[in-house]
Structures are given as C-alpha cells and as structure tokens.
A and B are shown apart, each in its own frame.
Chain A
Amino acid sequence: MKRIVLLITAILLTAGVSAQSGKGIYNKYSDAKDVSAVYISPAMLRLVGKLPDMEIGDGEVNLTPIIKAMSGFYLISSENKSVSSAIRDDVRKLVKSGDYEMMMEVKEDGQTVHIYTLSKDDTITNLVFLAYEPEECTFICIEGNMSKSELEKAIASAISEYDR
C-alpha cells in the first residue's frame, strides 16, 4: 500500500513539475481576461519550416534552421495589471525551477526585458522572453533543440537589419 501511495505521489509530483513550463503558463493564462495568446504546434512549425526564408525588417534573415529546430512556441500578452503581475511571478518560478541562464536583462523607459535560456551543451532547449511593465507584459517561450550558434547568428542578423 505504501508503495502504491509513493508511486502515485511521484507521478503527481511529476505532473506538477510539468505544469511549471511554458506550456503550463500558456494553459493557465491563455483563456484569461485581457490576454492575447498564440500557440504554434510542432506540426505547424514543421509546415512553417518548409516555407522560404523569413524576412526581418527590410532584409532577409534565414530563420529556417531555427524554426525547423523548434518544437513549440507559446506567446502570452496582457495589458491587465493583475494578470501581468501573475505572469511575471510564474515566469520567475519557471526560471528558478530549472537551470535557466539569464542571457540578457534590459531596463528601458520603465520596461524590463529578461531573456533566459536553458541549454544542454551547444543546444538551447528553451528560450524564455519576458518584457514587463507594471501595466502590461509579454511572455514568449520557444522550445526545441536550437543550435546556439544558429540562434546567435539569427539574432545578430536581425539586429543589423534593425539598425538599417
């Protein structure tokens, strides 16, 4: 009997931990009031990956390798103060629960941006982006097996295109 109870507890704990993920946050807030939510499934990402190179700004940046390596895309955006605050707290819990590494923190005009990555060797398995202001917030979570160098290259290209 003890074994059964332990087993069930372990399974439930695993389920609880899985709730602390991009998907968990998405599921929690996607139907909330004043929230915009976008989810792109792995199947859709595979279809998107077959499309020609993406364009960022006026120039072309090849994001196809990154999209092909993505297995999930979650976006939650809210302009509701209490929801924004709750999302921020949940994202903090999420990054604390895993071995997330802060890639960047930008504070500008009352907005704070945090970018976290979860890596395994030269592969980024999770990228979490949180742009937070007291009145609004945007949470993005990208899951997959993205090459660090490919991602850095794409971001660098995007920045140079943005500068033009």
Chain B
Amino acid sequence: MKQLEEVENMSLETLETIAGDQSVKIPPTLDGIIADTLTAAALSEKGGTGYRKRTPIARYCIVGSAAAAAAGLAIILTLGNSPRDTFDDPAIAYAQLEKTFSLMSSKINAGIEIASEAKPVIEKTNEAINKINGK
C-alpha cells in the first residue's frame, strides 16, 4: 500500500491512471468512513470545542464519581499508612508502657523539684513585698 506522502507527491496524471484502474478494489465501507470524518470535522467547527452539553444528571454523576474517588483516595492514604504493631505480646507492650510512664513521671518530677527549689525564693520575695506594703 502506498504511503500518504507518496500519494501527495504523485502527479495528477498518475493519480488519474490509478483511479481509472478497475483492478484496484475499493473497500465497501470507504464512503461511510469519509462521510463520518467530514461530519465530525463540520460539527467540531460548528460547536467550537466539540464537547457534548451534559445534562444536570450527568453532571451530578460525574461530581459524585469524583467525590467517591477522592474519598477512596483519602481512605487509602489514611489507612494505607497504618503502622504495624511493634510487639506481638501484650506483656511486652505492657512493659514498654510502664517504662514510658516511668520516664515521663521522672521528667515531671524533675520539673517539680526545680519549681520547689524556687519556692523559698518566692516566699522571701513575697515576705519582702508584704513588709513594704505594711501587711
């Protein structure tokens, strides 16, 4: 079969000769294909973008589908990243929680100790202020 470029480069005489050649069989659907192509081209010129105007129901369907897809994506993002349990044994998990609460309480205790060290200073300051105020 000849390529499109080859056909374009052919002279009119050659094209006439080929057209007159009765031995070449023309596909029976060729007329229909040409007609469809021309109609589609005409419609796209007439309609600008060529998009079909959607009915309100179709629009709702599209928005609904997009919402469902987005919700699905959000669920996948949320659940898909669920970490795996570090421990299989509740007793070990228990020990870890014990250790954690001990650590937290020790730090809180350190804070309370620091605060209690400041208590006498605060009391002395209060006394001094009270003396000044004559209480």
The residues of A with any CB-CB pair to B shorter than 8 Å are 3-4, 7-8, 11-12, 14-15, 18, 23, 26-27, 30, 37-41, 43-45, 47-48, 50-51, 54-57, 61, 63, 67, 73-75, 104-106, 108, 113, 115, 129, 131, 138, 140, 154-155, 158-159, 161-163
25 pairs of residues in contact across A and B, judged by CB atoms under 8 Å: A3-B63, A11-B71, A18-B78, A23-B81, A26-B83, A39-B84, A40-B85, A40-B97, A44-B87, A47-B90, A47-B93, A51-B91, A54-B98, A56-B105, A63-B101, A106-B110, A106-B111, A113-B111, A115-B107, A140-B100, A158-B101, A158-B105, A159-B112, A162-B102, A162-B106
Interface flags, B47-90, vs A, CB<8A=1, else 0: 00000000000000011001100110110011001111111001
Closest to A154 in B: B101
User: CB distance A7 to B111 under 8 Å?
Assistant: no
Task: Check if B114 is an interface residue, CB within 8 A of chain A.
Answer: yes
Chain B, interface residues (CB within 8 Å), range: 35 or more
Query: In the bound complex, what is the Cα–Cα distance between A105 and B114 (angstroms)?
Result: 11
Task: Check if B108 is an interface residue, CB within 8 A of chain A.
Answer: yes
